[in-house]
Amino acid sequence: MASVYKSLSKTNGSKDEDSANGLPKKNKQRVLILSSRGITYRHRYLLNDIASLLPHSRKDAKLDTKSKLYQLNELAELYNCNNVFFFEARKGKDLYLWMSKAPNGPTVKMHMQNLHTMEELHFTGNCLKGSRPILSFDSQFDSAPHLRVLKELFLHIFGVPKGARKSKPFIDHVMGFTIADGKIWIRNYQINEVEASKLPEPASTEDESANKKSKKDKSSSKGGRETEVKLVEIGPRFVLTPIVIQEGSFGGPIIYENKEFVSPNQVRSELRVKKAGRYNARAEQGIERTAKRGELGLRTSGGRKMPKDALDGAELFA
Amino acid sequence: MVTKSKLKMALAADQRLDFKKLNQKKQRKAATRENAKKGEVMSKKVEEEWEDVDEESEDGGDVGVNGAGDESGSEDEAVDSMQIDFAGIDESDSDSSAGENDQEHDDDDDEDDEDIPMSDLEELDEEEKEDMIPHQRLTINNTVALTAALRRIALPISKMTFSEHHVVTTSEPVLIPDVSDDLNRELAFYSQSLSAVREARKLLKAEGVPFTRPTDYFAEMVKADEHMAKIKAKLIDEAASKKASAEARKQRDLKKFGKQVQVAKLQERDKERKQTLDKIKTLKRKRQGGDNETTNEADLFDVALEDETASTKPARKDRTGPNKRAKKDAKFGHGGKKRFAKSGDATSTGDLTGFSSKKMKGHTKQRPGKARRAGGKR
């Protein structure tokens, strides 16, 4: 295996240097991955999943503080990282994701929802640990400046740089970043290449693809053989809602704030208020009812008395 | 606010210088300059309008509330200027550093109006406002700072080979009409990724970068073998349970059908029996009417049948029914007292059948003597 890798990296190495000479900047990223205290097991599993997908990451122990996040900058410097990927758990249920370029920003804070770890999603996809993903972005990422910043951060953190220490030379998975409903949806798929000649029959493959609702891709590979690309989901899945972008790294002025974001606390409190409102309405109804009955003289005590009727039994047979 | 903009200016200037050093290209297009100028003119006009607003904001702090009236007045122009600035920024991005001086002007103007967020408080209708807790957040979208930040960290993707960055952006935005429609949403994600993979593969093949993993290349996978075994077990389990449920359903259906069959069979048997009994009855009737016509064999057959029916049916009838009561009555007594049954009563006293006056007078016929009796015999 090592020989295969060496030979491949050697052939590419010469090309690499050429391009490196021509270019001023080399893509060099290292990500510090850690979480705050108080994360649940699912958050922890997700963190592990992401760390396993990013060979250029450095996982660290949980951070003790939630208020002094600027300490992360020092930590990142200590570990030689220029990106920080930080899970902040609140109340043991809400998860916020901070992504930052370590020494001097920007920082993005996002709310993470609908997270599913690889473990609980029983997907059949799998990929090499440390293979470099293809990053697929929705073109909506180029439509607004804050989204462009987000895209850049995703590119730095989720894109494994070429020649990263533990990276593998083949490409077998793709990460999709899509914007829908003001949120960023992230998916991870395995690239499954099937040689057309190995397929039993074209009719059956069509059925399969119809089942999966996927289109076939046929293009000539190196050997000139036809191969078909299919995707199989690996996991994890999660949805991010951008909240705030800061100019510095865990500090500095806020340069973007999402007005549409409603904090989960507010959602919960509104639910509670709604519930309380139901009780209040019912109590009020009760009071109104007693008042009405009193007004009609139907109550034994209080309220208006009924006028005595001449035909009343008590009056007639007195 | 002022300090912030100054800081930003300094930062931006620093950046520009860097850019200058890196790639000094003298071919600055006249077009961009013109564009920037146009922007400048527009933004200057806006600047005048906005100056009073700025001052207010510095005093009051909360611009969204204080300067609401001014904002609504100059909203159109503000939007205009934003668009223009945006265009200018875009251009500067595309050719990294074009029209520096003009751009800087632009940035300043931008900061002035960008720092004042447009609070769309009036956007909501009354009903929604009623429900909403007064928790309003002002939109902050500092475009200039965002672009500056972006420029600071951006990788020069356009100058890198594809194998360096692996980024594919769709040509058209992915539209998902309803996010809660799981199937279509996932399909959209899938097709986005699939198209990206196709494009990436083409590019990588063109660059001669290995793409497909050879079959004899083994390495650690993201999901360990145990995990995959678990998934496999789960799949097998699911398939088995599906199969079992299908089998059970089939069995149930069969059972239902089998019952029907059984009922039908029983009914048929019943019918057959009735038919034979009917036949027997008719035969019996025929025989009773006149069996002259019947042949000997038929006669014999009839007799046998009759015997059989006679031996079985009437006996059964005797055994059950009112006969039993009668027997019991006879045995144990029923229907009134049996005492004094032999004593005389009115009728028996009045009965004179046994009375004779001759017998009463004692005039009875003498018994003939022995000889006579004996002679009479002879």
pLDDT at A105: 81
Q: Does A305 touch chain B (CB under 8 A)?
A: no
Q: Specify if A246 maps to a domain.
A: yes
**Which residue on chain B is closest to A216 by alpha carbon?**
B194
Q: Does A274 touch chain B (CB under 8 A)?
A: no
Q: Does B87 touch chain A (CB under 8 A)?
A: no
pLDDT at B8: 63
Instruction: Please answer yes or no on whether A247 and B160 come within 8 Å at the CB atom.
Output: no
Instruction: Please answer yes or no on whether A132 and B197 come within 8 Å at the CB atom.
Output: no
Q: What is the mean pLDDT of residues B371-375?
A: 81
Q: What is the largest CA-CA distance in chain B?
A: 195
- Number of structural domains (chain A) is 1
Bigger pLDDT: B301 vs A239: A239
Residue with tokens 């259906």: B253
Instruction: Please answer yes or no on whether A146 and B141 come within 8 Å at the CB atom.
Output: yes
Distance from CA of B22 to the nearest CA of A (A): 8
Bigger pLDDT: B94 vs B130: B130
**Chain B residues touching residue A101 (CB < 8 angstroms):** 153
Consecutive H or E run containing A123: none
- Whether A288 has a pLDDT exceeding 70, the answer reads yes
Q: Specify if A285 maps to a domain.
A: no
Bigger pLDDT: B219 vs B83: B219
Q: Specify if A81 maps to a domain.
A: yes
- Mean pLDDT rounded to a whole number for chain A: 84
Q: To probe the interface with A, which of B144, B174, B175 has the most A CB atoms within 10 Å?
A: B174
If contacts are CB pairs under 8 Å, which of residues 146-185 in chain B contact chain A?
Answer: 146-147, 149-150, 152-157, 159-161, 163-174, 176, 179, 185
Sketch the domain layout of chain B as residue ranges.
Answer: 2-154, 159-214
Q: Which of B121-130, B147-156, B353-362 has the highest mean pLDDT?
A: B147-156
Three-state SS string over chain B comes to CHHHHHHHHHHHHHHHHHHHHHCCCCCCCHHHHHHHHHHHHHHHHHHHHHHHHHHHHHHHCCHHHHCHHHHHHCHHHHHHHHHHHHHHHHHHHHCCCCCHHHHHHHHHHHHHHHCCCCCCHHHCCHHHHHHCCCCCCCCEECHHHHHHHHHHHCCCHHHCCHHHHCEEECCCCCCCCCCCCHHHHHHHHHHHHHHHHHHHHHHHHHHCCCCCCCCCCCCCECCCHHHHHHHHHHHHHHHHHHHHHHHHHHHHHHHHHHHHHHHHHHHHHHHHHHHHHHHHHHHHHHHHHCCCCCCHHHHHHHHHHHHHHHHHHHHHHHHCCCHHHHHHHHHHCCCCCCCCCCCCCHHHHHCCCCCCHHHHHCCCCCCCCHHHHHHHHC
pLDDT at A194: 84
Give the C-alpha separation, B212 to A223, whole Å.
12
**Which residue on chain A is closest to B180 by alpha carbon?**
A181
Question: Could you tell me the CATH number of the domain that includes residue A240?
Answer: 3.40.50.10480
Instruction: Please answer yes or no on whether A145 and B187 come within 8 Å at the CB atom.
Output: no
**Chain B residues touching residue A129 (CB < 8 angstroms):** 219-222
Distance from CA of B35 to the nearest CA of A (A): 20
Percent of chain B past pLDDT 70, that is, above it, reads: 53
- Whether A184 has a pLDDT exceeding 80, the answer reads yes
- Whether B106 has a pLDDT exceeding 90, the answer reads no
Q: Does A217 touch chain B (CB under 8 A)?
A: yes
Nearest to B149 among A53, A149, A174 (CB): A149
Size of interface A-B (CB pairs under 8 A): 245
What confidence tens digit (pLDDT) does each residue in B159-210 have?
A: 889 998 899 999 999 999 898 999 999 999 999 999 999 999 999 999 999 8
Q: Does A265 touch chain B (CB under 8 A)?
A: no
Instruction: Please answer yes or no on whether A227 and B212 come within 8 Å at the CB atom.
Output: yes
pLDDT at A111: 96
Q: To probe the interface with B, which of A259, A261, A270, A271 has the most B CB atoms within 10 Å?
A: A259
Which domain does A81 fall in, by range? 26-268
Confidence band, pLDDT 50/70/90 cuts, at residue A302: confident
Confidence band, pLDDT 50/70/90 cuts, at residue B93: very low
